[in-house]
Every structure is written in C-alpha cells, then in structure tokens.
Chains A and B, each alone.
Chain A
C-alpha cells in the first residue's frame, strides 16, 4: 500500500487549491472567487475552489472528496495561520491517504485580509501572490516519513523543592521510576525556610515534612541529595545523564524525560531601604525564618515595604507572590506575634534587635552562598497559647498597589484590613525612606492623599523583595540546551499553550525556576509537568517531526562548521570524517543549513529549493 501511495505522491504534481472566505473575514476584504480562478491558471494546479469556511466539516470533506475525485497529490489551503490550523488540514489530508508533508498552508487572513482592510484590490493581488508562492513550494514537496524513537520510561527530576517533589510523586504514582536530584543535603527547597503558609493555617513544616517523607519512602523514587547534574547527552527517550555526588564517583543513568524544577532565590536588597545598614531591617523570607525559629525582638510597630527592588526599581518584573505573603505575615503579626514572643521568652530566644550583619538566618545565608548541608534546628514543639488578636502592634504596609489575585487572597486582604493593618500607597516618584534617628528606626513617606510628607517611628522594616532566578541557571540551561528568558528564568515553549514544556522535546519545566509562583501553583505545575512527561513514557515511543537537517555526503567536506553552530548537538562526524545528522535530536532550526559553506545541508520540508522558489514566486509573475 505504501508503495502505491508513494508512487502516486511522487508523480507529477497535481495540486488542489482551497481558498477560504472565512465568512467575511477574508471574503470581505479580498476578492476570493477571483483569487480561486487565478489559482487555476497556475502550473500543476488541477483543481481550485472557494469555501465559506474550509475548516468546517463541509470544507474538510470537500478537500477529501477533491483528493479522491481529482487524484490530487498536493493540497494547498489559503486561509488563516498555520500556527493554529495546520494540524487540522494535515490530518484531513492523511485521512484521504495523502502524506501530511504534501500539504501547504497559505496565510491570506492574518497576513493579508485583516491588515489591508481598506485596499481590496491590492489585498487581492497580494492573496494571488501568496498563493503563487504556495504553489511554487507545493510543487517541490516530497512525502516524509516520521522517525519513530523508543522512549525509556524513566524520568529525571532536577530539584527537590515542592515543584520537583510534586512532579516526582505524580510520575512515581503512575508507575514510572523517577530519579530525583537535589543539591542541598535534604529535600524541601525554599519552603523549608518558611514559617507558615497562607490560605491554610498550617505551618510550612507541617505541610512539607509529610511530602518529603512520601517522596523518600516511595518505591519508585530514588533520591540523590548533595548531588548535581554533571552531564546530559542524548535526546527525548534516550538521555544519558551523569549525577555528581560530592566525594563520590559520578553515577550514570539512562532516562527518557527530564523535568527542571530548580527553584528560585530571594533578591538581596543591598543598598535599598537601609538594608544591611540599620538593625531590624530584614527581608520577608528572613522575617519568616525569625518567626520560625522564634528569634524575635519586641515590637510595637512594623512597616512592610512592597516591591522592594522589583517592578522597575532594580528588576523589571513583578514577583507576584509578595503581596499575598506580606498580607499573610501582617495578619500573623497582628494575630500571633504576642504568642510567638511568649514562646520565644520560654525558649530564651528573645533578642534585643536583629543585627545588621548576620540576621540570625543561617539557612538563607547558606542558600545564598550555595553551600551544601546545614545544621540542625532546635525546634520547640510547645503548644502555642492563643491569646487573640493583638491591639498592641501596629502594622503598616507601604505599597504601590496591592495585587491580591484570586478569591482566597482578596479575602485575606480584606481580613488584614479588618484587623487594622494599614495599607499606605507610595509612588515611584516618592519612595518611602528608611533611616535611623536618635537610635530609633523611622520611615518617612509621602502621603498621597494629604499630599504631605509624614514620618513614623517603627521597630522593624520588612522588605518584600522579589524572587530571582538561580545565579547558575545558565549552566543548567547550557547542559540541557534549553533557553532562559531575559530575567534569567527558564523559558517555556509557549506561555499559554505549552506552559510546562520546553521547546526541546522530552524536557519539561515547573515551579519558580520559570518565574515567581506560590506553593500551590508550584504543586500544580509539578503535577502538570509530570503528566506532560508521562505522555511519551506511557506511549513508549515518539514520532519526530520530519523537519530535520539532511547532509549530502557528496558535498560535505567535513569542515565541522555546522557542528559548531548546532545548538542541540544533533550533528556529528561519522567514520568517514563527514557529518551526519541525528534526526531525533534535531529540532529543525536550520542554522546548520545556512552556515554550511558547501551547501551540503538542507532541511526536510524546508529545503533551500523550496524557500528559494517561494522567494522567486513572490518577485516574479511566474512560478
């Protein structure tokens, strides 16, 4: 059967052109019937038609019918954008027995009718040109076979925080063996540092410890602590990775998929709002650690400063979670500070003030310095005595605007205001100033309603600083050959349609390593990445899109320039010293093709000849 099909498809081209009105979206601004008539005059076009909606069932069946009736071996649809509709029309071609690589998409809506709405004549000329370009390309298409690659049903997760553990557990529960690599001495990630977690009243420890236990005890999960990913070779389904453990030999394992969940760090607001200048100026995370360890000073007035370092001050983006975290802490101070202080008194950990150097937060200092291992914590298990809300501590949150997104957080925001937490706005023209006067910490701010400068004494300033990308994310990005965005966070394939995939097949991303997110979001992303990774592992194979580089050995001189430019390691030298392409590793960018000085490399389905023919057809009246 395949032979027969190939025979038909490699015969002289018999092209069918289907021009879509898209209701009035195209038909209203381009003379579609004229365009379809013009298509009939082009070489090798044996059939052309116009449909009201080509993507509707009657449009699709007209394509199938025409393929059979007119023996078409190339199909062109001139309608919207291939980015959304190519798979639909390709599937239609396949259902009529036509190889999907013999389909050509011509975009006459987004690139024509919608952007030239006041020039119908010129838009019609352009639509004709675009179809002529499509025909010139279609004539040169050849059927392609998609390479089938076996997939090893084992996963690697890099990073043992909430995201990584959530991903590992999801996959392990599905029955896939998972290797979980964590560079710290224990699992838990950023959350291990925190005091309590918002929305629920539970402590961070209470939430994270059962998760860690579950991961450690799961029969399908192998945990590697104090370990780093050393090398990665291969492609989807067939990765050879080496895991380095300090003081031990590298362990080599074979995995089919990789999930990146390396998390983020807190921004250190050096030089902002008296940080590292005055005592009792701490970051949000440092404050959480102080609360957790009950190393607390007595307080009467606390000021939060939101957006410390973010949204244009030092970093451009909004860290998205800090409003909610600050509100949580504000409520915690009002409701709970007296209780926590009581416990601190019992423990004997009440401090006079939090010093400038070394804010009693060894963990975060360690985290920042990226040391491995950490000391044990003396955690008190004494019951907290509930005394009810404190009237004694005044909390002020200086903010540019509060973004308490979502149902729960908005309710929390209201709750904070009911508890008399003051929210005071500032603008970027008038930032609050933190200074020391007569041995008293003070904040000066511009009251936007009164248009007056005010000064208030405070006992503690808590800076809501953004999450920042891991400083060594670039190393992992190079190792895995996946991109970072401008802020240093990992960049997903598509922010909406493929939020936990990398463009590279077989590698996925979740959690704060791809941008600020809170714990529930990280858990969701972890589970999402796991289910994406499970698809090829459950199937046991993938089909690589036939869009890969092809080396003409008769032209190749073995200079190796292409190997140097390939971002995926998809080219290598063979025994003859000439270059060969590894189809499964190739992503089809074509950088090698443009680089080859001998013109020995081209891309399947985007050949030099096809692209040149398109350019020629755009410029000449003939195909």
Chain B
C-alpha cells in the first residue's frame, strides 16, 4: 500500500487534490476537544468539516456509507475515551460498529484507512490537532476516493 500511497500523493499534488473530510464529533468530548484546539489556536489543515452529534454511537452506519457515496475522501468518528463516555458506554458500541464498517468499505473497494475512529477528550485540543493533521495527510496520500475517480 505504501508505494501506492506515494503515487497517490503525487497524483494528488499534480491535480491540486483538496480532500473532502467529514468528522463526526460527539458533543461532550470530541467537539469540546475541537473547541479547545480552536481556543488554543492550534493550526491544522482546513479540509475537514465537523458534524456535531450527541454521542459517537449516534453515527449510523448509513451516515458513513452515504457520505462515502457522496464523495467523502475520508471520514473520522471521534468520541470519548473508553470509560469516559457521557452516555455510559456509547463509545464501546461505536468501536464495534467502526470495526465492522471498515470491513464493509473494504468490500466496496475503499482503503480501510479512509475511515478512522479516535478517542479525543474535552481536554485534548492537541490530540484533535494531531489527529486532523495526520488524517488529512493519510487521505492526501490515498488520493481521491474511488467514487471521485481515485482508487
């Protein structure tokens, strides 16, 4: 995959690839972590768009699949750390769901790295920045999604 990824990066750079990234943030931890990143003025690539949900467990598999269908190059789901869920254990359900979804998108020809789950707490502004930067880099390396003419 790594040599492929390298080629994609080149292709991406040639065509001015602007990745489209959707981030589902739970209201209580990750959204607040993203807010903290903002308050701390932590700079990051501008390609992600945050959608607020109350709990990461609200992210219906359909949301993820529809977003890929509509041309998302990468989707990140961010929730509270294990044992820190505002809704007791929603994040555990998310973890299982994302593991299954990764298998599913692979069957549609998507690289599993295009879907990612991260635990980001309300106090982890830096982790939000790091996650967004790394995920954007990953997607840049993978290039446009299969539905947008990539692989």
A residues contacting B by CB (< 8 A) are 81-83, 107, 109-112, 114-119, 122-123, 125-126, 129-130, 133, 481-486, 491, 493, 503, 547, 565, 567, 587-591, 593-595, 599, 603, 606, 608, 611-612, 614-616, 618-620
Q: Which residues of B contact A119 (CB under 8 A)?
A: 46
Using known A-B contacts A133-B51, A612-B66, A618-B49, determine if residue A589 contacts B57 with beta carbons closer than 8 Å: yes
Pair B58/A606 contact, Cβ less than 8 Å:
yes
- Do the beta carbons of A594 and B57 come within 8 Å of each other? yes
As a 0/1 sequence over residues 34 to 62 of chain B, the CB contacts with chain A under 8 angstroms (1 = contact) are: 11011101111010011111110111111
Select A115's contact among B44, B59, B90, beta carbons within 8 Å.
Answer: B44
**Cβ contact within 8 Å between A591 and B20:** no
Say yes or no: B51 contacts A547, CB within 8 Å: no
Please, which residues of chain A bring their CB within 8 A of the CB of B93? 565, 591, 594-595
A611 touches B51 (CB 8 A): yes
Chain A CB within 10 A, most for which of B32, B55, B62 = B55
A481 touches B88 (CB 8 A): yes
Give bound CA distance, A130 to B88, whole Å. Answer: 30
Q: Which of A482, A567, A608 has the most CB of B within 10 A?
A: A567
A611 touches B49 (CB 8 A): no
17 contacts between A and B (CB under 8 A): A81-B38, A83-B31, A112-B46, A115-B44, A117-B41, A129-B49, A482-B88, A503-B87, A590-B58, A591-B90, A591-B93, A594-B93, A606-B53, A615-B22, A615-B63, A618-B49, A620-B71
Residues of chain B within 8 A (CB-CB) of A485 are: 83-84
In contact, B67 and A619 (Cβ under 8 angstroms): yes
A residues less than 8 Å from B35 (CB atoms): 81, 83, 107, 110-111
Q: How far is the CB of B1 from chain A (nearest CB, A)?
A: 25
Write the nearest CB–CB distance from A582 to chain B, whole angstroms: 16
A484 CA to B90 CA in the complex, in Å? 14
Smallest Cβ-Cβ distance to B88: which chain A residue: A567
**Of the residues A115, A123, A590, A608, contact of B55 by C-beta under 8 Å:** A590
Contact flag A567-B89 (CB < 8 Å), given A110-B34, A590-B54: yes
| B95 at interface, CB cutoff 8 A | no
Which of A503, A565, A615, A620: most chain B Cβ within 10 A?
A: A615
A608 contacts B62, C-beta separation under 8 Å: yes
Please determine whether A114 and B41 come into contact, CB atoms closer than 8 angstroms. Answer: yes
Complex Cα spacing A603 to B57, Å: 12
A133 and B49 contact, Cβ closer than 8 Å, known pairs A589-B58, A594-B60, A612-B66: yes
Contact of A593 among B49, B58, B71, B81 (CB under 8 A): B58
Residue of B nearest to A487 (CB): B83
Q: Is B105 an interface residue (CB 8 A)?
A: no
Given A614-B51, A619-B71, also A594-B46 (CB < 8 A): no
**Whole-angstrom CA separation of A114 from B44 in the bound complex:** 10
Q: Which residues of B contact A133 (CB under 8 A)?
A: 49, 51
How far, in angstroms, from A491 to B27 measured CA to CA in the complex?
A: 17
A28 to chain B, nearest CB (A): 12
Given A483-B85, A486-B83: A114 in contact with B38 (beta carbons within 8 A): yes
Kindly supply a per-residue 1/0 record for chain B positions 69-105, scoring 1 wherever the CB is within 8 Å of any chain A CB and 0 otherwise. 0111000000001011111111001000100000000
Contact of A110 among B28, B38, B86, B87 (CB under 8 A): B38
A111's contact among B34, B81, B87, by CB below 8 Å, is which? B34
Q: Are A116 and B43 in contact (CB under 8 A)?
A: yes
Cα of A552 to Cα of B70 in the assembled complex, Å: 27
A595 → B minimal CB distance (Å): 7
Contact A114 B84, beta carbon cutoff 8 Å: no
| A77-B89 Cα distance, complex, nearest whole Å | 32
Give complex CA distance A433, B66 in Å. Answer: 62
Structural contact, A484 and B83, CB atoms closer than 8 A: yes
The complex places the Cα of A616 from the Cα of B87 at a distance, in Å, of 27
**Does B49 lie within 8 Å of A587, measured CB to CB?**
no
In the bound complex, what is the Cα–Cα distance between A173 and B140 (angstroms)?
A: 64
- Closest CB of chain A to B123's CB: distance in Å? 9
For residue A123, which residues in chain B have a CB less than 8 angstroms away from its CB? 46
B130 to chain A, nearest CB (A): 13
- Taken together as a complex, chains A and B put the C-alpha atoms of A175 and B50 apart, in Å, by 47
A139 to chain B, nearest CB (A): 16
Residue of B nearest to A477 (CB): B88
Smallest CB separation, B11 vs chain A (Å)? 20
Given contacts A126-B46, A591-B55, contact A115 B41 (CB under 8 A): yes
> A618 near B22 (CB under 8 angstroms)?
yes
Taking the closest CB of chain A, its distance from the CB of B82, in whole angstroms, is 8
Nearest A residue to B27 via CB reads A83
B56 to chain A, nearest CB (A): 9
Chain A residues with CB under 8 A of B37: 110, 115
Given A115-B43, A122-B46, A126-B49: A619 touches B22 (CB 8 Å cut-off): yes
- List of B residues within 8 angstroms of A618 by Cβ: 20, 22, 49, 51
A612 CB contact (under 8 Å) in B39, B42, B63, B129: B63
Question: Complex Cα distance A493/B28, Å?
Answer: 9
With most chain B CB atoms within 10 A of its CB, the pick from A129, A567, A590, A603 is A590
Cα–Cα, bound, A130→B51 (Å): 9
CB of B83 within 8 A of CB of A591, answer: no
B87 A587 Cβ-Cβ under 8 A: yes
Set of chain B residues within 8 Å of A117, measured between Cβ atoms? 41, 43
B38, B39, B61, B72 pick with most chain A CB within 10 angstroms: B38
Question: Closest B-chain residue to A590, C-beta based?
Answer: B58
Please give 4 more A-B residue pairs, beta carbons under 8 A apart, in addition to A126-B49, A491-B84. Answer: A115-B43, A611-B63, A616-B66, A619-B71
B38 near A109: Cβ-Cβ < 8 Å: yes
A483 to B89, CA, bound (A): 8
Q: Does A619 contact B70, Cβ atoms closer than 8 Å?
A: yes
Cα distance A547–B86 when bound, in Å? Answer: 15
With CB as the reference atom, state the residue of chain A lying closest to B61. Answer: A594
Smallest CB-CB A-B distances: 7 pairs: A110-B38, A590-B58, A589-B55, A589-B87, A591-B57, A114-B38, A567-B88
Contacts of B34 in A (CB 8 A): 110-111
**B63→A591 contact, CB < 8 A:** no
When distances are taken between beta carbons in the complex, the residues of chain A under 8 Å from B90 are 567, 589, 591
- Is A567 in contact with B41, judged by CB distance below 8 angstroms? no
A614 to B81, CA, bound (A): 25
How far does the alpha carbon of A1 sit from the alpha carbon of B89 in the complex, in Å? 43
Name the B residues within 8 Å of A503 (CB-CB).
28, 86-87
